[in-house]
Amino acid sequence: MSTVKESVDVDVPLHAAYNHWRTSVGGVSREFDTEIVDQLPDERIAWRTVDGDVDQKGVVTFRSIDDVHTRVSLAMEFQPEGLAEKAGSAMGRVDRRVKGDLRRFKDFVEERGRAEGGRRGRITPG
């Protein structure tokens, strides 16, 4: 398994950052299903793959820095498949992709500046 960890500070309140969160996987095009295994509004969302040819799990956490700034942190584990993916993982390609995605998230959420609707209920492990 390979692990990637990245964080970004965004200039919006925690509630706004949490309600904008979405995930996508770039690079090799594959289809897979995930399930949310833990969700605590304004704190964290954890997921794992349930089928398809991707083995991945992760968690994104949201921490208030102050009333108008939030730290968004992502930790993800995945199993690279094939020589190209293993080489790309070893060279830091996934880390750079995640860092770029977090920068794009920062730009998006700061431009929007307000919370959008989202599922805010509690999901518990098990």
H-helix segments, the chain: 14-20, 82-90, 93-112
105-121: pLDDT as tens digits: 999 989 886 656 566 67
CATH number, domain with residue 61 = 3.30.530.20
Whether 124 maps to a domain, the answer reads no
Comparison of pLDDT for 116 and 82, the residue scoring more = 82
Domain that holds residue 68: 2-112
Whether 125 maps to a domain, the answer reads no
Q: What is the tally of structural domains in the chain?
A: 1
21-78: pLDDT as tens digits: 655 444 555 667 888 899 999 999 999 988 777 788 999 999 999 999 999 999 999 8
**Distance, CA of 43 to CA of 9 (rounded, Å):** 15
Listed range (1-5, 19-23, 48-52, 97-101) with the worst mean pLDDT? 19-23
Question: Which pLDDT score is estimated for 26?
Answer: 45
Question: Which pLDDT score is estimated for 53?
Answer: 74
Residue 125 has pLDDT above 80, yes or no: no
Q: Is 109 exposed, middle or buried (0-12, 13-18, 19+ CB in 10 A)?
A: buried
Question: Which pLDDT score is estimated for 85?
Answer: 76
Whether 29 maps to a domain, the answer reads yes
Whether 13 maps to a domain, the answer reads yes
Whether 46 maps to a domain, the answer reads yes
Whether 120 maps to a domain, the answer reads no
Whether 118 maps to a domain, the answer reads no
Whether 117 maps to a domain, the answer reads no
**Distance, CA of 81 to CA of 88 (rounded, Å):** 10
